[in-house]
């Protein structure tokens, strides 16, 4: 599972926690969401150092993360910034 997949899994687990029939199930979903979120964060940090200037290196990796977190591209000083 790659970083963006962990990010989506964390979101899905949080939604499952909201819909859980009882507190034990909700807690289990929240705990799983936390693990997925941590793994997504670790993947993003690891990718950050793979390109020049601390940017995510591969275009496919940048696009997958951008699609996952729904970032919008802005132009700033002649370069693209995602927010």
Does residue 75 sit in helix, strand or coil? strand
Q: For the segment 42-79, what is each residue's pLDDT rounded down to a tens digit?
A: 877 766 655 555 555 566 666 776 666 655 566 667 66
Angle at which helix 3-19 crosses helix 59-69, to 10 degrees, equals 10
Residue 68 sits at φ, ψ, to 5 deg, of: -65, -45
Closest among 43, 41, 38, 37 to 12, alpha carbons compared: 37
What residue ranges do the domains of the chain occupy? 3-82
Distance CA 71, CA 41 (A): 16
Per-residue pLDDT tens digits for 2-29: 788 888 899 999 999 999 999 999 999 9
Reduce the DSSP state of residue 49 to 3 states and report it: coil
């Amino acid at each position: 599972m790659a970083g963006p997949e962990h990010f989506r899994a964390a979101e899905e687990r949080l939604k499952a926690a909201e819909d859980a029939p009882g507190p034990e199930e909700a807690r289990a979903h929240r705990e799983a969401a936390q693990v997925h979120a941590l793994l997504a964060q670790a993947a993003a940090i690891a990718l950050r150092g793979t390109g020049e200037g601390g940017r995510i290196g591969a275009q496919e990796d940048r696009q997958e993360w951008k699609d996952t977190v729904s970032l919008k591209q802005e132009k700033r000083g002649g370069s693209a910034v995602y927010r």
